[in-house]
Amino acid sequence: MTKRTFLVTLVTLGLIIACNPPLACADTIFTYSYSGPSYTYVDPYYVGAHLSMTLSLSTLLSSSTLADVTPLFWSLSDGKETFTSTDCETDSCSTSFRFASDTHGNVTAWNVKASISNSSPAMRFSVSSYFSPCPNVCGDQVDSVSYTDATVHAYASVNHNVVAPPWVGSSVPSTPVPEPASLSSLLLGLAGLAYRLRKNVFLTKGPSRQNVLRAKS
């Protein structure tokens, strides 16, 4: 086995070991998407628009009562502007996501609130959406949104009688890249093992050609 083949085989074996299920290299992302009804009380800015939301979770919803969840990623659109969790790296964000579900992970109630703002340039975006069925609370599904910047100051809302919650769930297998620190430790360990094995191979091969020549002379 050549030096190159030996190292490639060793690194490949290490990566296979590192990505075994016990180390959770293969996860499933659960995505919930919402498309609400068109706003009925609207400023001209929001005519014909509706609220859309997407949340990606690491686990299936499982609480029969409203409970806080922490999305891996979220996206909110009031029909005119769209903001995501990535925007919170530069904007000021305040969010709350609470959900209830049946035993299959289907949404049965929710309470979502979000506010995103920035001072330069001045901007504020807010969303509120909730629904709770009987017997605890008997009311309509309510969506309300607002957006303000240097030229726009708009608000819209809708009260809607819910027959079936307008949430659609899906799941997608995901294979995340190993964390840099874990990968570095793995490769350093493999490099040390490779050096030790090559050294042992050298020692078992007997005297080198140079030593043989010196002995003859």
Summarised one tens digit per residue, pLDDT across range 35-48 is: 999 999 999 999 99
Please enumerate in sequence order all residues whose Cβ is within 8 A of that of 46, keeping only pairs 6 or more positions apart, or say none.
39, 78, 79, 80, 145, 154, 155, 156
185-213 pLDDT tens trace:
555 555 555 555 555 544 445 554 455 44
In order of 174, 177, 190, the CA distances from 183 in angstroms are 18, 9, 11
pTM: 0.67
Mean pLDDT of 157-165: 81
What span, in angstroms and rounded, lies between the C-alpha atoms of 130 and 148? Answer: 22
Beta pairing, strands 67-68 & 50-57: unpaired
**Domain boundaries along the sequence of the chain:** 27-174
Q: Which pLDDT score is estimated for 190? A: 54
